[in-house]
Amino acid sequence: MRSNNLKIVIDADGCPVVQLTLQIADRFRIPCTLVCDTAHSFADMHAQIITVSQGTDSADFHIVNLIAPHDIVVTQDYGLAAMCLARGARALNQNGLIFCPQNMDSLLLSRHIHKKQRLAGKRIKGPKKRTAVQNAKFEEALIALLNQTNIN
C-alpha cells in the first residue's frame, strides 16, 4: 500500500548512513527527517532536522510520535525499531537489516543479554570499521523497502 505522505525518519545520533539515506530519498523524492539530541549537530542537510533535549530515549520517543504507518525509520536501536513496528512503520539498521516481527524477539533478547553483561563488568567489543559492503547492503535494503511501497 502506498502512502502519499510517506517519509523517512533517521535516528541520527551516531548514524553512519545519514548522507546515503538522504541521497536515496532524494532519488525517490521522499522527504526525510533527522532526529537527534543536542549533543549532535547537522548542517546543510536537505532534510527537516529536529533536535530534542538530551536524555535517555528522548529522540526515540520523539520518533515514535512522529511516524505514521508505512514510514521508514533508519535506526540501530532495537527497542526503537520494535516500537516503530508496533506503529505500523518499517525499520532498518545501518547495515541493511530490515527489522520485522520474526527477528525482533531474538534481537531484543540479545540486547538484554549484552546489557546484563556490561552491568556485570564484562567488556563487549564495539563495531568494526564500516565498509563499502555494509553501505551497499543498506542501500539495497532501503531501495527494496521503497520499491515495496510502489513509489517510482
Return the amino acid letter for 147. N
Instruction: Tell which wins on pLDDT, 120 or 82.
Output: 82
Q: How far apart are CA 88 and CA 19, in angstroms?
A: 25
pLDDT digits (tens, 9 = 90+) for 86-132: 999 999 999 999 999 877 776 666 766 667 777 777 776 766 788 99
Q: Which residues contact 143 (CB under 8 A, 6 or more apart)?
A: 24
The reply to whether 2 falls in a domain is no
- List, in sequence order, every residue forming a beta bridge with 97; answer none if it has no partner: none
**Sign, Cα dihedral of 28, 34, 40, 46:** positive
Specify the number of domains making up the chain: 1
Q: Is residue 48 part of a domain?
A: yes
Of residues 85 and 56, the one with the higher pLDDT is: 85
In a domain, 86, yes or no: yes
Alpha helices (H) in the chain, listed in sequence order:
18-28, 58-66, 78-86, 101-119, 132-148
For residue 91, the domain's CATH number is 3.40.50.20
